[in-house]
Amino acid sequence: MRPGKEERAEIEQLRRQTRDKKQHVRLSVLIMLDEGYTYEVIAVSQGTDSDTVGNYKRKYLQQGLQAYLKDNYVAYRGALSLEQLQALDQQVQEGLYPTAREVGDWIYGEFKADYSDPAVRAILTKPGFVHKQLTPVPAKADEQKQPGFVARFEQFIEDLPQDTVVCFTDATHPAHNTQTNKARIKRGQQKHIPANSGRKRLNLNGAVNALDPCEAVADDVDQVVEAQTINAQSTITLYEKLLASNPGKKLVLICDNARYYRSQLLQQWLEGQPLIKQWFLPTYPPNLNLIERLWRFMKKQAIGLSFHSTCQSFKDNILHFFEHLDDYGYELKRLLTLKFQILHSPLSDST
């Protein structure tokens, strides 16, 4: 940012003459920006924050010195009318605004109210907006078919014969690496955790009893099968273990539409297994597969921020988790309930 010599001289003269503390800070910010100081240094020296320094620079470049010095700054929520606040609420709910600055730009464009980033955050906090991770939803999720499956499943469970076991099945492929997560870190600092450069993965094929998932999985670790590759053969191995752990009982195995569940080899094997029936989920609905919650919980507890220098150590830690699921009984009973969220894909509105 380089104001001309005359404007730089004018800025310095205005700063010498002003008795307004706020104007003094604004003018000092311009001078320090012209001198090449970083936002962080300027913020510390002027008792403000980096976001405000960036806002000052943006406003000066967009509107010029006179408009920049004009005090139309609004620092309190009540400056927007009830109708304007309602419009803002709807806009933020319907749009994607990663930063407070983008919301502030929308407010200025619509209502000509110039808020700092902290003030925007304060406005958004009152109606309940928080800054959190977005939740990815499969673009092809069919919102119409999901309730139908849930209704059929609930009725099926209600009428379930005593000689029938219902399991949700799926595979997971945790990568041998540290999973980054949030932690408490002082502002302006960084905290590093070790990570691996390799791309090795552990392939697990599993099944969870729909009615008693905690006890069934905890008492029978064989219901989690480690394999080099998840395919029809490893799925047959899993099914054989389920038959062995539930002798004489009928098995209803709920699975997604992965290729190996529909493979010719598996279907031919199932022809000779009258006790097993596969029940396929609607397309693209991880929310309806109970075992997906177990996989996420496993990754949080067994991988998380822990570092394993060897793939064998990584594997042992995950298998140890499944061997000691009783330690997480309370959490799993709350997590693995038969309550299912219906996912809505924004793309479904346009089809």
Q: Are 64 and 117 within one domain?
A: no
User: Can you give the pLDDT at residue 75?
Assistant: 44
Q: Are 85 and 61 within one domain?
A: no
Residue 186 covered by a domain: no
Residue 14 covered by a domain: yes
Q: What is the DSSP letter of 343?
A: P
Residue 221 has pLDDT above 60, yes or no: no
What average pLDDT does range 55-59 have in this prediction?
Answer: 88
Q: Are 151 and 286 within one domain?
A: yes
Contact 327, 219 (CB under 8 A): no
Tell me which of 21, 53, 69 is where a domain ends. 69
Domain with 254 in it: 145-175+198-350
Q: Are 328 and 223 within one domain?
A: yes
Q: Are 202 and 325 within one domain?
A: yes
Q: Are 60 and 95 within one domain?
A: no
Residue 182 covered by a domain: no
- What is the residue-wise DSSP string for 261-304? HH-HHHHHHHHT-TTEEEEEPPSS-GGG-THHHHHHHHIIIIIT
Selected residue with higher pLDDT from 299 and 224: 299
Name the nearest CA neighbour of 118 among 103, 133, 96.
103
Residue 185 covered by a domain: no
Q: Are 299 and 316 within one domain?
A: yes
Tokens of 295: 């996989």
User: Can you give the pLDDT at residue 23?
Assistant: 87
Query: How would you class 170 by CB atoms within 10 Å of its CB: exposed for 0-12, middle for 13-18, buried for 19 or more?
Result: buried
Q: Are 46 and 151 within one domain?
A: no
Residue 131 covered by a domain: no
Q: Are 236 and 342 within one domain?
A: yes
State the pLDDT confidence band at 76, using cuts at 50, 70 and 90: very low
Q: What is the DSSP letter of 169?
A: E
What average pLDDT does range 75-95 have in this prediction?
Answer: 80
Residue 264 covered by a domain: yes
Tell me which of 52, 69, 86 is where a domain ends. 69
Q: Are 19 and 120 within one domain?
A: no
Residue 112 covered by a domain: yes
pLDDT digit string, tens, across residues 7-25: 888 888 888 888 888 889 9
pTM recorded for the entire structure: 0.61
Residue 199 has pLDDT above 80, yes or no: no
Please count the structural domains in the chain. 3
Residue 133 covered by a domain: no
Q: Are 119 and 153 within one domain?
A: no
Selected residue with higher pLDDT from 159 and 77: 159
Residue 214 has pLDDT above 70, yes or no: no
Residue 299 has pLDDT above 70, yes or no: yes
Which CATH number fits the domain that encloses residue 155? 3.30.420.10
Helix or strand (DSSP H, E) at 227: strand 224-227
Q: What is d(CA 219, CA 31) in angstroms, rounded to the nearest whole number?
A: 70
List the strands of the sheet with 276-280, edge to edge. Answer: 224-227, 203-209, 164-172, 250-255, 276-280
Q: Are 213 and 235 within one domain?
A: yes
Strongest mean pLDDT among 93-107, 124-138, 146-160, 190-204? 146-160
